[in-house]
Chain A
Amino acid sequence: MTFKSTLKSTATGAALIFAVSGFHTALAQGGPPFGESGKAKAFPGIPEGTVEAMGGEAGINLWVKQLFHYILLDYRIAPIFIEHGNIERQIALNTQLVQRVLGAGNEYLGASMSAAHGDLGITMEEFNAVVEAAYNACDAVSFHYYQCNQIIAGLAPFTFDIVTQ
């Protein structure tokens, strides 16, 4: 067997295994998407010290404030958040939530994402609009893109609780 044919066979087998992994639960991380401390189980893992690298609670709070700044500028999603009311409280709770999913181990005092969003009929476009606002907020507070992606990775599991339409 030549090297080329060996490579073909090996790579083809790997491709097929990856492609059919949806039928094989052993290749999926089992259980809930968050650990006991609330940290997201994003593969291959959110680095330790991510919250500290972003300025701790103060840095995350600054980012969340910018997030809401961009959310309230977006006609697609601003009405949803305005209707929910008490923006300052939403900022405070989201500061807790983001720290928690990034592994800070703090307490989150708000409602679950499914409870908070279940009746809102959020679409994927609206969810993605918040993600875009998240990236804009990262630029505004000078978080590096790679740091921003840790936030996205931490919050991504909530997609399926938030997007109900």
Chain B
Amino acid sequence: MSVVALPDRAARPEPGQRSRRWPVVSISIIVVFVLVALLAPLLSPADPYEQSLRLRFRPPVWEERGSWANPLGTDRLGRDMLSRILWGSRVSLAAGVVTVLIASAFGAAIGLVAGYYGGRVDATLMRVTDATLSFPVILLALILAVTVGPSFTNVVIAIAVILWARYARVIRGQVLTLMQLDFIAQARIAGAGAWRVITRHLLPNTLNTLVVLVTLQIGYVIIVEASLSFLGAGIPPPTPAWGSMIAEGRDVITIAWWVSFFPGLVILLVVLAFNLLGDWLRDTLDPKLRQL
């Protein structure tokens, strides 16, 4: 993919370096997570919405009073924790992927345009980008949630509206470097217009960076979405979402620790997998890119 070989000391592969191996564990966790999200209706042992006051606060199977009917116990309304966690993966996966795709497409476009045209266009776009970067995401999402009511769409919009700025910054920096190189000048001499240079010459050369950023940010978005659901500004109940499950368990943690504990553990696992995969991709594809 990389047409340009930038001189880079850190890029030299070091023999026997750990990061060169495929991150099998991360990839397996992500694959399992995607499968669970897709097959949630088939995999869950119970209906995630079904309440049963008789079965409230059943502990996980290995504790006293626990049973195989509810392997991870039940919550305040007697709903099966395992089924809710399985279904909750749909919200997290969808939020992570959709948000990052929107934000990266928009941010990359802004970065490409700013870097290509430079001058006043660049200055204006970058000021907007900087202003956006310094706005606290959660504050905006909270405001939006009370404005139009909490919903999946609003969560995605609130996060994407801020997140694009990071892509714009990084991609613009890369384009500035690329613009100095001969092949761009040659393309322009050969008569290529702005659209052609941007889509055919600049975009392919920033794809590696984009892939790394996208992977690293899916984990971040999953955490932000969970934080919002936790604050009551995310996915409204009774839809199972990991963040709101943790919030529901917060008040009862002294009598039923499992209600908060397991959803958090699953978030940790999935986000960890995405972050490790992103780190590996960065070391492999784009070692110059710093942690954002």
Q: Do A and B come from one complex?
A: no
